Structure 1
Amino acid sequence: MKVKPVIGAKVTHDGRRAVVMCYSPTDHETCEIRFANAERKWLNVKTLVPNYVAGDHVRHVGSKALKGRGTGMVLSTRDVIGFHQVLVQFFDSGESHWMDWRLLGQANSAETRITYRAIGKYGNAAERMRMRTLAKALSIWDANTGAFGRLDIDPLPHQLDVARKVVTSPQARWLIADDVGLGKTIEVGLILHALTMRNRCRRTLIVCPSSLTKQWKDEMRVKFNRSFEIYNRDFKPEFASEVRARENIIISLDLAKRPEHKEMLLGGGPFDVIVFDEAHRLGVDEGGTRTERFNLAEALNTTCHAFLMLTATPHQGKTRRFRALLELTRPDLVGELAHLEADPSIVREVIIRNRKSMVTDAQGKLIFKGHDTLRYTITPSPEMAAMDAELQAYLREGYRTGSQMENRSLGAAIGFVMATYRKLASSSLAAIEIALHRRLARLAQMESEKAARMRVVMPLEEDLEEDAENLAEIDMPRHLGAFFSDEAERVQKILNLITKAKPHDTKMQTFLTTIADHVIQRGENLLIFTEYRATQDYLISRLQDRFPEIGCDRINGGLSLDEKVAAVKRFNDGKTRVLVSTEAGGEGLNLQETCHVMVNYDLPWNPSRLVQRIGRLYRYGQKKRVQVINLHNNDGFDNSALALMLDRVTTIAHQLAAVRSQSPDVLASEILGDLVANIDMETILERAANMTPTQTEAEIEVAIQRAQESLKDEEDILAFASSSGTRVSGGFDSRHMAALLMGMAPFAGFRVEKVTKDQQTFDIELDEDQVGRWPEFRRRRNIRMSFDHKLAERNAEVVPIDLESTFMRHLVDLAQDRDAFDGVYGEAAKIKGWEDGDILTTHQVRWQSLSGDILEEDLIPVRMTGVAVKEMPRDVFAELLLSPFRTSGAEGGKDDRVPVLTQEFSKILAKKADGERMPSSVTTFTALRWS
């Protein structure tokens, strides 16, 4: 027998149960065994027979070369060609292995130690119990949320809750519908980190609008240390194998939907995680027709383990489109989703949604306080009024001509041009001037070429999303002749009036003198939105003339990704004071760090874009109350109609918010955004060809009424969506990391010399024999380290620490080492709220899906008072672990309540199980008795 039973091995001799105690120093074949009645004998090991049965707690003893697997529970035994093997499920890993019996020694369970009040051989057992519990709790929290990894973020409770919900769910397919500005990108980063920790995320695909590809790449790299490559930018694959060779890919949505690239992605799979940003762009129309974008997402959904869709506006009052998004996310629930209106609770299985009115910081304080919206109504000068009157007459004639055409395509094309000119005129004199100059030039060219009318091809809606800001500069439709006989003369007359009106542009004058002057003089930054590049150029020219000493930058769809990112960086770094953006900056850009004042120089016909614009500033990280200023030129039908709609909706939003229990300002902002998303104002204005105010006002009232009804239906459905409520219950944060660091100092061979007030930065001194043990400390003995990674970036002498640092991992591993540290059971001096004889136990539970996949590890705290057993609230448990435990000097004895504890905990566990998950392994991890 080359391998002898380890000390503590359970054996029998002549049918009597015993334990191996030690070996003879002279005869290594002879050992001393202790029988159940405490009798001891020296026997030859060949006379001993293993004695393990299911339910025994054992420990695997390693060697100098190989570390042991720790403690576990015996599940079964077997004999294979004379070898006696024991199937053990190990508590640390959750794995089960067949082991040779000679490598296993008995381990007293926590229940046994509670019964016999066995505090173990180490001193300060109560504090050791706290350290062991805290180390396990932090490890589990990090595995489920990614909160303590090497990340350049300070995650909020709702972000951690989203990550945990996704990572631990049996179906990792979710539509994440948090409000704009709540950090959906951070949530995705946490999810990817946590899944990577579980070896469930090697390859990731992110599909997003083209304007956001670079931002996704930068945020993943800077905040999560995760490198992505942008498809067709960082690499241009010719074969699917080139896609398959890459781990993390970002691709623009409209590039990915093209057949050749879609085929490349499908051939380059599978991916572990696929993310679709701005997922509301994927849906079907109300007739049920699927777009190419939808088909792309549907095809990719079948190729991945986790599928995430991100959108702040999942419903938008369009029930068919909303249902299609849900079915796309969870195709296995198509049957249930067909009855969505009858049973909306099904959305709990599909949607995670957090609202700004509810999210808090780690201390439970509400983060968002609402924003102010101001409107400047501008009376046009006589010159501008004269130009507008002539333009309105031209537009009416164009609409009349289009409506009388027998060729409906040509008539629709004329109507489209008229609607475009109305939008441009509402924006600025410059925008409509450029468009009309181009129209006049085209008419002259067609006349000289005597061009015949040709088939008109209307632009697609998806193309207009990209080109809308440039409508003033493109010719559309290109082959349409004069609308009516004297069109060229009328256009020229309008252009002459524009030339006269430009020096009297009261809208621009009001903006410069009443708004920009004050903002610039206060030393603040200013963000300006407009729909069109022509207006953007006009604004920048006038701003630079008036404020030559400040920098003024732009963002529009004509810039490259690098140029957009550079413009945002200059603005956030303070190198420019004014940023003028088209809708290309309306989604995804984060400008809240250095700006809180935004001007809408024009009001888009699609008012939901206003919500996206506001979201650039009104988001997490904003330190000031956001000021939104809308310029309303009281010069025509369209601006008046938009102002009327916004006024009515704002009033309704504040009325509805006033009757709610909390945060009326924040709620009003939410309700306003939800309402305008449900009002198709663009269709109302396009339909108003005769521009009759009374008829349009009536249509707006009907639309608002329908929007309110849609909003109620939407709220009734989305009320069932999963959310974190106000804060994560029982979450762990840097305070607990600090508690572990300081609590382990006496046990781990170092001293804490200094701690900052916020417990983020520490000066420690290592024992001499510890120097050089941890790579991040190099050969230093005195170290300053910090959980604040930004501080470490600024100061090379500060070492960043987290659960990925070798030093913190050592502390966590040491605290959970039963042989070297113990910490399984302790007795503590009584503290406030606890009585003599009360018991605190923590139970390590692994949950698995019905198919056997491990979903989550959990640490469930339980309090026993007398014979009453209750699960402790997680937040109370988390707070309890922050303060040291003092070991009591109470005498030993016996506690016979373990059977009651075991029985009652089984009931607690049964309530937590459901139809999709069940316990995989359960053990009592630590116990503390107050005495």
Structure 2
Amino acid sequence: MLAIDDLYSFGEGVIVQSRSANGITQHLVEFPESNERRWIPYFALRQIKGVKHAYIVGSQSEGNVAERLRLKTLAHALRNWNENTGALSSLEFNPLPHQIHLVHRILNSGSLNWLIADDVGLGKTIETGMLLYALQQRGQAKRILLITPAGLTRQWQEEMYDKFRLGDFQIYGHHFQIHEPREWKMHDHVIASIDKLKQESHLELLLQADAWDLVVFDEAHRLSRRQYGLHYDTSERFNLALSLRKSEKARSILLLTATPHQGMQDKFISLLELLRPDRKNEFALLSLKPVLLHDMVIRNYKADVTDSEGNFVFHGKSTIALEVPVNQQSIDFDQSLQDYLRKGYQAGKNKGYSGNAIGFVMTVYRKLAASSVAAIRRALYRRLSRLENDVLDEIIQSNFVEDERFQGELEEFTVSSNQDNREEFFDGEIELLKLLITRVEQLINHDDKLSRFMDTLLKQLLQDNPNEKILIFSEYRATQEYIKEAITAQFGEDKVVLLHGGLSHDERRDVIGQFDNDAQFLISTEAGGEGINLQRHCHIMVNYDLPWNPMRLVQRIGRLYRYGQQKKVVVLNVNSPGTVDEQIIALMYQRIEQVVSDMAAVQGDEFNEALKDDILGEVSNLLDLEEILEQASAGGIERTEERIKEALERAKNATNLQRDLFKYVSRYNPEDLASELVITTAHQLTFIEGMCKQLNIEIVKRIHDDKVLQLKMPEKVMNELGTRSSTLDITVDRDMARSRKNTVMMDMNASLMQLFIRTACSFSFGGKTASVCARDLSGNSFITANLRWQDIYGRRMKQDFAAFFIQGNRVYQNPKVLGDWLLEEAETSSIIPTKDSNEHWFQLVEREAQKVLNDSTEINVIPDHVDWVSGAWLNNE
């Protein structure tokens, strides 16, 4: 083994070839750590003894070399665990085991062509971010293209920066334009709308860009290709993905969708062909050989998800419906509204295509009326003012135009701000509007829905705990303001905060911060239905209105019903069947609940609430009920009930078919990591404490239940870090780092942590071999190594850190007891076995390491190298 002189150190290497040039001998040195070779003149090298030689001859340095061996072993284990999972990097959250496993599974598969089909709410965006981060740490993904629905481009950009500090992503068409193909070279991290890129002019430009290392398609079920006999009906979105694949502009493709199958086998197979076009003939036999999915599709369910301690993350929820009795004012108003809607829809039909705008307005009015009397009241007043050419009051402005989360607000904004429709939709519209306004004024003075919400619901919720925090959802801003006025009048303005599409990213963050601290009520539109986490301080949610799209309800519940929620989530749905639409919406949710309960019950004795939520997410994602509701006014409630039943039956069958097929995909199983040396925050902390001692860094104080260490650093360490401050507060707890200013999160990106890793892994640190006192370890020895695989082009594809534990003539890989031993400071022993024993044990380990390399060989992954890290002899006395 050889090492470059410390001044320009490339680390340790092996001479594989020599030559002479101008009288100077040069050696071609292979460096396993960086997977590169360099010609180095002989005088820049110095000879060292590697682990194998030192272990066999029984070499051991002076001092507590056992502790240095422990720290060196930990340094390699920490670095490798982070490279394989991204779990120890600069993340703004604590990754769950299923997320760590997913990243580990994909990175170690030798292929990035995967379909991530995790259940709704399990964090496909987070998993993708972890994967991208890990790939960048490995240097394996320079050019990345994220293709998303138009309304989610900004959300993806925010998530990548907020959670992973991946701040280089720019949105195509928003942050930059491409006028000539060469301009693509300036953009390596791009987010783009799928509906923009599918257009011929944009696609042509995209296909002239340099190849992307990874292309990610979010909501991949939108890539639709159906097969009819020998012919395909291909959507433009699918053609976009296919063009990238065929032109070899996408070296790898990652597809994200919770519903990849949707009961359509041909469409599902088309997605698989995008991932692996070389296996097209095999996919034709998928029904007979579903095991093909194991190395291409990964799916996790809420029912299976646990935290790092093995506890189920989802503790259950209860859903309660609060029905408000119908009063005479509601009946009178609904009769007039139904009359208005029928005439409006008919007027739209009479005008043909140009009448679609009228139908849109009628549908929005129906949704507003189902939301609150205040929402429909505002819309009716504005419509009448427009027809009578009055000056319109200033309307609420928003910046939500291209975000799917704010569909309701966009509808409300559109019908309120349209200045062009100054003609009656039908004869007599003005008179009918005036009648409606008269009746809506009578109704607002007898709004039993708001009264029951304030006087009954809130009163009961706050009876036991007057300070209980409550999350309230409504789809529309007018309803939101209406609820706020009522709550403010009773509880005070400082108790209420609003979340909606008109807020900037920073303003949203401030609102959430206020709710986490002093505010008691958060009233949110769908702006809070995705992308925010409120589970730490709240477990009660009230739906003042129920969304027409059932997936919106699933997403709302996901704000509280997620990892970190310590209480049972309570969901209360306020239902006032004063209109036909409200009756139909209530009926729809009742039918969904019944179907989901029936499907969950047949799963057997292991049925639990989390399983029920898995199925609810699947069924809701497969349902398209908005069209049914939009047509309900023409068909009546009986026909609408039939159509809901038919749609649910189709969704049920599709869900069952998908579940049967997905028995063969990859999924999280705690046993899958049984052969891994699993690294936890406890290993991080013990490594930090040990390295502080080695580098003479004083731990002055431990505060906040030992979660924060206050350090005093010597001048040498200060110089290494380039800082003038000798004091530093550190933690391995992400929540503590977020809440406490000037406290450094000691993840793998922290400068001090990098110094610790670099120091412990260096040759001069020592610790390659040692005899250790190991009373809790019954065995002879253990040897650790980095196992590496490459692709057919010699590029590194995979690396695992392995600890081989020797007992007699048997070798065990990564036993849990060894992981436990690494948590405590090690003590050196003076007893070293004979050379013959050492040589025998090392041969056993070499054979086992080679076996591991060979067993993990795949078509794209072949064995590369074993780099020995440390070897220890165990003294059990």
- Identify the TM-score tier after normalising by the shorter chain: 0.7 to 0.9
1:417-470 Cα distance to aligned partner (Å, 9 max, x none): 66555434323334444555666678889xxxxxxxxxxxxxxx9997884444
Instruction: Describe the shift of the 1:570–1:256 C-alpha distance in structure 2 as closer, same or farther (beyond 3 A).
Output: farther
Higher Cα Rg, which structure: 1
Tell me what 2:122 maps to.
182
Tell me what 1:515 maps to.
457
Instruction: Describe the shift of the 1:580–1:193 C-alpha distance in structure 2 as closer, same or farther (beyond 3 A).
Output: same
| Paired letter, 2:131 | I
Is there any run of 5+ residues in structure 1 with no aligned partner, and where? 1-57, 446-460
Q: Does 1:89 align with 2:30?
A: yes
Check whether the contact 1:763–1:783 (CA below 8 A) recurs between aligned residues: yes
C-alpha distance in structure 2 between counterparts of 1:752 and 1:428, whole Å: 59
Check whether the contact 1:352–1:721 (CA below 8 A) recurs between aligned residues: yes
C-alpha distance in structure 2 between counterparts of 1:564 and 1:640, whole Å: 37
Instruction: Describe the shift of the 1:264–1:569 C-alpha distance in structure 2 as closer, same or farther (beyond 3 A).
Output: farther
| Paired letter, 1:515 | L
Deviation at 1:381, TM superposition (A): 0.5
Instruction: Describe the shift of the 1:800–1:391 C-alpha distance in structure 2 as closer, same or farther (beyond 3 A).
Output: closer
Task: State how 1:163-174 maps to structure 2 within 5 Å.
Answer: 163-174=103-114
Instruction: Describe the shift of the 1:167–1:104 C-alpha distance in structure 2 as closer, same or farther (beyond 3 A).
Output: same
2:748 to 803, 806, 831: 803
Q: Does 1:357 align with 2:309?
A: no
Q: CA RMSD in A?
A: 4.3
1:290-336 Cα distance to aligned partner (Å, 9 max, x none): 55555555556654555444444444555555555555555555554
Instruction: Describe the shift of the 1:856–1:238 C-alpha distance in structure 2 as closer, same or farther (beyond 3 A).
Output: closer
1:187-206 Cα distance to aligned partner (Å, 9 max, x none): 34433332232233445444
Tell me what 2:821 maps to.
880
| Paired letter, 1:778 | R
1:875-928 Cα distance to aligned partner (Å, 9 max, x none): 554333223343334354231524444334433332222222111112333222
2:812 to 857, 870, 874: 870
Q: Does 1:67 align with 2:18?
A: no
C-alpha distance in structure 2 between counterparts of 1:724 and 1:885, whole Å: 34
SS of residue paired to 1:859: strand
C-alpha distance in structure 1 between counterparts of 2:11 and 2:319, whole Å: 62
SS of residue paired to 2:416: coil
1:640 to 583, 604, 612: 583
SS of residue paired to 1:504: coil
Instruction: Describe the shift of the 1:677–1:212 C-alpha distance in structure 2 as closer, same or farther (beyond 3 A).
Output: closer
Tell me what 1:840 maps to.
782
Task: State how 1:274-353 maps to structure 2 within 5 Å.
Answer: 274-281=215-222, 283=224, 293-295=237-239, 303=249, 307-317=253-263, 322-328=268-274, 334-353=280-299
Deviation at 1:814, TM superposition (A): 3.3
Check whether the contact 2:91–2:163 (CA below 8 A) recurs between aligned residues: yes
Q: Does 1:778 align with 2:724?
A: yes
Tell me what 1:814 maps to.
759
C-alpha distance in structure 2 between counterparts of 1:219 and 1:731, whole Å: 27
C-alpha distance in structure 2 between counterparts of 1:886 and 1:396, whole Å: 85
Check whether the contact 2:149–2:218 (CA below 8 A) recurs between aligned residues: yes
2:866 to 919, 922, 928: 922
Check whether the contact 2:542–2:574 (CA below 8 A) recurs between aligned residues: yes
C-alpha distance in structure 1 between counterparts of 2:5 and 2:638, whole Å: 89
Q: Bigger CA drift: 878-887 or 785-794?
A: 785-794
C-alpha distance in structure 2 between counterparts of 1:804 and 1:846, whole Å: 23
Task: State how 1:574-589 maps to structure 2 within 5 Å.
Answer: 574=517, 577-589=520-532
Check whether the contact 1:845–1:921 (CA below 8 A) recurs between aligned residues: yes
Task: State how 1:199-238 maps to structure 2 within 5 Å.
Answer: 199-208=139-148, 212-228=152-168, 230-231=170-171, 235-237=175-177
Deviation at 1:607, TM superposition (A): 1.3
Check whether the contact 1:637–1:691 (CA below 8 A) recurs between aligned residues: no
C-alpha distance in structure 2 between counterparts of 1:77 and 1:547, whole Å: 83
Tell me what 1:159 maps to.
99
C-alpha distance in structure 1 between counterparts of 2:434 and 2:650, whole Å: 42
Identity fraction in percent: 33
Instruction: Describe the shift of the 1:551–1:792 C-alpha distance in structure 2 as closer, same or farther (beyond 3 A).
Output: closer
C-alpha distance in structure 1 between counterparts of 2:624 and 2:744, whole Å: 55
C-alpha distance in structure 1 between counterparts of 2:499 and 2:207, whole Å: 34
The count of corresponding residues between Structure 1 and Structure 2 is 846
Tell me what 2:708 maps to.
761
2:683 to 736, 757, 764: 736
SS of residue paired to 1:846: strand
Instruction: Describe the shift of the 1:185–1:831 C-alpha distance in structure 2 as closer, same or farther (beyond 3 A).
Output: same
C-alpha distance in structure 2 between counterparts of 1:919 and 1:589, whole Å: 44
Instruction: Describe the shift of the 1:70–1:699 C-alpha distance in structure 2 as closer, same or farther (beyond 3 A).
Output: same
Instruction: Describe the shift of the 1:561–1:228 C-alpha distance in structure 2 as closer, same or farther (beyond 3 A).
Output: farther
Tell me what 2:854 maps to.
910
1:581-616 Cα distance to aligned partner (Å, 9 max, x none): 433443334444444332222222321221122223
Check whether the contact 2:142–2:188 (CA below 8 A) recurs between aligned residues: yes
Check whether the contact 2:293–2:664 (CA below 8 A) recurs between aligned residues: yes
C-alpha distance in structure 2 between counterparts of 1:103 and 1:236, whole Å: 48
Tell me what 2:571 maps to.
628
Deviation at 1:376, TM superposition (A): 0.8
Check whether the contact 1:751–1:766 (CA below 8 A) recurs between aligned residues: yes
1:44-91 Cα distance to aligned partner (Å, 9 max, x none): xxxxxxxxxxxxxx223x34643363143x545667798776554333
Check whether the contact 1:871–1:908 (CA below 8 A) recurs between aligned residues: no
C-alpha distance in structure 2 between counterparts of 1:463 and 1:761, whole Å: 41
C-alpha distance in structure 1 between counterparts of 2:480 and 2:778, whole Å: 67
Deviation at 1:675, TM superposition (A): 1.9
Tell me what 1:852 maps to.
794
Instruction: Describe the shift of the 1:614–1:795 C-alpha distance in structure 2 as closer, same or farther (beyond 3 A).
Output: closer
C-alpha distance in structure 2 between counterparts of 1:914 and 1:732, whole Å: 26
SS of residue paired to 2:650: helix
Tell me what 1:120 maps to.
60
Check whether the contact 1:751–1:764 (CA below 8 A) recurs between aligned residues: yes
Tell me what 2:560 maps to.
617
Task: State how 1:581-730 maps to structure 2 within 5 Å.
Answer: 581-657=524-600, 659=603, 664-726=608-670, 729=674, 730=677
Deviation at 1:384, TM superposition (A): 0.8
Deviation at 1:506, TM superposition (A): 1.8
Instruction: Describe the shift of the 1:663–1:813 C-alpha distance in structure 2 as closer, same or farther (beyond 3 A).
Output: farther
Q: Bigger CA drift: 364-373 or 317-326?
A: 317-326
Instruction: Describe the shift of the 1:283–1:574 C-alpha distance in structure 2 as closer, same or farther (beyond 3 A).
Output: farther
C-alpha distance in structure 1 between counterparts of 2:744 and 2:441, whole Å: 64
Check whether the contact 1:529–1:583 (CA below 8 A) recurs between aligned residues: yes
C-alpha distance in structure 1 between counterparts of 2:354 and 2:174, whole Å: 43
SS of residue paired to 1:700: helix
2:444 to 498, 502, 507: 502
SS of residue paired to 2:8: coil
Check whether the contact 1:470–1:533 (CA below 8 A) recurs between aligned residues: no
Deviation at 1:625, TM superposition (A): 3.1
C-alpha distance in structure 2 between counterparts of 1:284 and 1:378, whole Å: 46
Check whether the contact 1:317–1:677 (CA below 8 A) recurs between aligned residues: no
1:598-656 Cα distance to aligned partner (Å, 9 max, x none): 22222223212211222233233444433222122223443333333322432443454
| Paired letter, 2:78 | L
TM-score by length of 1: 0.79
Check whether the contact 1:568–1:591 (CA below 8 A) recurs between aligned residues: no
Check whether the contact 2:535–2:562 (CA below 8 A) recurs between aligned residues: yes
TM-score by length of 2: 0.83
SS of residue paired to 2:719: coil
Deviation at 1:666, TM superposition (A): 1.8
| Paired letter, 2:797 | L
Structure holding more helix per residue: 2
Deviation at 1:736, TM superposition (A): 1.3
Deviation at 1:137, TM superposition (A): 0.9
Instruction: Describe the shift of the 1:629–1:253 C-alpha distance in structure 2 as closer, same or farther (beyond 3 A).
Output: farther
